[in-house]
Amino acid sequence: MKLLEVDGLSTHYITARGTRVTRAVQDLSFSLDAGETLGVVGESGSGKTTLALSLLRLLPPGARIVSGSIRFEGEDLVPKPEAEIRQIRGKRIAMILQDPMASLNPLFTIGDQVAEPLRVHEHESRRSAWNKARGLLEAVRIAAPEQRVREYPHQLSGGMRQRIVGAIAISCEPRLLIADEPTTSLDVTIQAQYLSLLRDLQKAHGLALIFITHNLGIVAKMCDAVAVMYAGRLVESGPVRQIFNSPAHPYTKALIESIPRFGDSNARLTAIDGQPPDPSALPPGCAFHPRCLQAMERCRAEAPPDFAVGADQTAACWLWASS
Amino acid sequence: MNASRAATLPLTWPSRLASIRIEAVALVPIAILSFIALVAIFADFIAPHDPQVGVLGARFKPPFWQTGGSTEYLLGTDHLGRDVLSRLIFGARVSMYVGFMAVIFAGTVGTLLGIVSGYLGKWVDQVIMRITDTWLALPALMFAIFLAAVIGPSETNIIIILGLVFWTRYARVIRGEVLSLKERDFVRLAIVAGCSKRTIMLRHMLPNVLNSAIVLATLMLGQVIIAEATLSFLGVGVPPPKPAWGLMLADGKKGMMAGYWWLTVLPGSCIMLMVLSANLLGDWLRVKLDPQLRQL
Amino acid sequence: MKKFFIKRLGYSFISLILLSLTIFLFVRLTGDPTTLLVEPGASRGDIEALRAQLGLDRSLLVQYGSFMGNLLRGDFGQSFYYRTPVFELYLSRLPYSLMLAVVAMSFSLIIGIPTGILAAVRVNGLWDSVGKLFALLGLSFPSFWVGLLLILFFSVYLGWLPSSGSGGFLHILMPAFSLGWFFAAAHMRLTRSSMLEVLGSEYVKLARLKGLPEALVIGKHAFKNALIPVLTLAGINLVLMVNVAIVVETVFAWPGVGRLLYEGIAFRDFPIVQATVLLGGTMIVVVNLVVDVLYAVIDPRIRYER
């Protein structure tokens, strides 16, 4: 049984008066095995974060899951009552956010914040939770954990804080970890260390990882599979190597081509013309067609469904209609 | 309009102001304030009696709906037999006049000094800011009472006093705005073009701070009215026999123990209504004209 | 830290000088100060004596010097009415005002903070609307009118509470309520917006992601953070309360320094007026200094910034 199966998920933001509907996530389907790493790639506004929040049912007011199912370990999370979801959050599915400074409460000690999930979910006593917290700090490679445990967030560096956020996430041994751009606000030199830490934690605990990023380089290094999002839809998905070697969707192709490569000093820097569309006013048909160099008449009229492209690879593009 | 053009064009406040649609929320306070203004202007025609002349035989008459009241004195009479309704009507004139004039005075002085202080900087700024801080440290009311005791109360003096007390609040906020405006491109262009400091301050700074000045004015109106009412209540406001609502409250206190409630409730309600409207209007304007000012 | 303290002390000192200068100038320059500083009904000889004592024929600077000299010696003049040094009078009344201020401030926080939190947590709901209405009314009702209405209702009609004086617990109830009412509204407003900001923060989001029960998210993570700006405002407001206290003390005949000022006006006892304003202003400057220094002691970030 797959660890996570998302089928036809749609999350919309609806203004209070019902006048504007923003289709942040539209008809999304993908699946994840235990221990697998999935990279979710897309520009800002593509719906990546909304997807993550939808999985944890932590949407802001005005946003709603309007259709689809999220099967986690066989159970559909969408219709579950809040009380049950709260038991899953932090315990079986955990999440790491982008900004480590903002994620930690400035008024409470590190130890308090790391021990908290253990006390709430596993009902541990204060002493045993703090002991485990110290162990967790060691696991995320923080030196002198006995001292750090009593310190406050502002006394630590950005890299250390992000590790602590990681420690909080794995504290209750979740099966799935969602990381929303965890390295974007870290120094480049720290990024590699953090990524290797995530990899090791994953192997040690058998975690499945959903890694949300706009950085294709990280996807290439970290992920087994990749899902490309554009304007709220999944436009391509498949094994990492396959996608990088032979991208099927024009958007994916353009993304990969826009990565500057060393030694290509004669080739020009390519960028994708135009801007991502406003999610509340999407163009008809395929959302990418205004910027697509291979757009056809059909693309302007109808939004393409997923087509199979080789083993395990799918692309939502009319170019692959015949296969 | 892309970002670079926006940086060079000054914001013209009249167009911003004109583009505001009057919503239902603002209609009520505007209506109330307009009503009070109309009452104040046409007081001579509306008031049934002379507010300053009392009929001793008709003292402490209750409002017409209570036993003992009559329709001749619709809202009753005070301790000197003066008609409450007429006094309320003429009191509106005092409150409106003093309130608006004081706000205009404080606003003009405060805005100009704020611009000068913010733009010229250095020692001018330091001096003005030190004075502002000190005057702000003195509670407005205390200061006003002191000045009233020294200068002597009269309608004009009260306006001056309230202006002196409240301009500092203006100056601080306007100065802050000017400080951030100074860095904008259109100011730099003006300097490069050779405009004198005076021209820049008057033609460029002033129109741009007017938004904030207007919002501040409406927010300040409520405070000024309460200050004026408080001064009158304490006996150092607009001097009798002119009917000020605060003064009516002071007189009303004398009759309170005997249960003459209308002398307290009615003038106070008028004050409250006017202040409430000013506050509502100010809040609404603040949101409309400049979301940044929401922190005020 | 020392540098910060000295700098701050310097500012306070300048403020005090400016304060005394302002008071001094206003009195000296607006007409003839002897009309203010002399008892009503004094003889011509008394007036001449006062004129000589004040040194009105000498330069302004010298006058200011002697003025300040007197102040520093604790000589704030003598009350006409009470025939005692005003300084003594002020000190005897001060405890009553402080007591009233503390009770009123506590009341404003006890009412304001929970209401603000409730309004934020149930944002755009019924409680939020109730809260916003409460805030608007609180800021629009003149405090002294609230006091008058309270007296009308609770003393005249119901006869439950005494309308004046400073006897026991019952005596302080209505004055404290009238004084605290306005500030309760202000604190409620700030608590609400501060709480809303905190509720939208990343660490609250993370707390929810951890699967913590909502009560813990709000009670532990959000609450403490939201409280910081409110307490700051409360500190500032404690000083502003002096303002409003003048009228409230007058309405309820509460024997504090506010009422003292009123007596000064009512009895045309100018030495009381001048001294109360000077001392009140000084107290505020000192309190501001203490608050600023305390803040630097508590929050290390402020120390290093200056």
Nearest Cα to Cα of residue C132 among A222, B283, A159, A221? B283
Q: Which fold has domain A32-65+78-223?
A: Rossmann fold (3.40.50)
CB-nearest partner of C240 from B133, B139, B146:
B139
- A near C: at least 3 beta-carbon pairs less than 8 Å apart: yes
- Residue A102 touches partner C, C-beta closer than 8 Å: yes
Per DSSP bridges, beta strands A4-14 and A63-72 are antiparallel
B158 CB-side CA count, 13 A: 25
Contact between B255 and B60 (Cβ < 8 Å): yes
Of the listed ranges A66-70, A213-217, B95-99, B190-194, the least confidently predicted one is B190-194
The shortest CB-CB distance from C261 to any of B138, B145, B264 is to B145
* Beta carbons of A153 and A92 less than 8 angstroms apart: no
Q: Over pLDDT 70: what percentage of chain C? A: 89
Comparing A35-49, B77-91, B206-220, C95-109, which segment has the lowest mean pLDDT?
B206-220
Cβ within 8 Å, pair C19-B138 = yes
Q: With the C-alpha atoms ordered A294, A296, A301, A304, is the resulting torsion angle positive or negative?
A: negative
**Using CB atoms, which residue from C27, C148, C281 is nearest to B264?**
C148
Q: In this structure, are strands A225-230 and A37-41 parallel, antiparallel, or unpaired?
A: parallel
The answer to whether A238 touches A314, Cβ cutoff 8 Å, is yes
Which chain C residues are within 8 Å of A58, Cβ to Cβ? 205, 208-209
Domains in chain A: boundaries: 32-65+78-223
From chain B, pick out residues whose CB is under 8 angstroms from the CB of C276. Answer: 142
CB B248 within 8 A of CB B233: no
Facing A58 at nearest CB: one of C209, C221, C225? C209
> Which residues, other chains included, contact B39 with Cβ-Cβ below 8 Å and sequence gap of 6+?
B46, B89, B92
Name the residue in chain A with its Cα closest to that of C301.
A154
DSSP of C145-176, one letter per residue?
HHHHHHIIIIIIIS--S-SSS--SHHHHHHHH
**Predicted ipTM of the assembly:** 0.77
To 10 degrees, the CA torsion angle through C213, C215, C218, C223?
Answer: -130
The pair of three-digit structure tokens given for residue A4, joined into one six-digit string:
């996570």
Q: How far is B287 from chain C (nearest CA, A)?
A: 15
Note whether C196 contacts A: Cβ–Cβ < 8 A.
Answer: no
Quick check: C202 and A102 CB within 8 A? yes
Region label for A40, one of left (φ > 0), alpha (ψ between -120 and 50) or beta (otherwise):
beta
Q: Please give the mean pLDDT across all residues of chain A.
A: 85
Closest chain B residue to the Cα of C14, Cα to Cα: B130
Give the mean pLDDT per block of 10 residues along chain B (296 residues).
40 51 76 87 82 79 79 80 86 89 91 86 81 75 81 82 85 81 77 79 79 82 88 84 85 81 87 90 76 45
Pairing assessment for the beta strands A314-315 and A307-308 based on DSSP bridges? antiparallel
Give the pLDDT band (50/70/90) at residue C244: confident
C210 touches chain A (CB under 8 A): yes
CB under 8 Å to C236, separation ≥6 — which residues?
Answer: C291
The residues that bridge with A209 in the sheet, in sequence order, are A37, A177
Q: pLDDT digits over C32-47, tens only?
A: 666 677 666 667 777 7
Q: Which chain C residues are Cβ-neighbours of A117 within 8 angstroms?
A: 210-212
User: H/E element holding A71?
Assistant: strand A63-72
Asked whether the CA dihedral B48, B49, B50, B51 is positive or negative, the reply is: negative
Q: Which residue has the higher pLDDT, B242 or A237?
A: A237
Q: Which helix (DSSP H) or strand (DSSP E) does residue A226 occupy?
A: strand A225-230
Count of beta carbons in the 10 Å neighbourhood of residue A309: 21
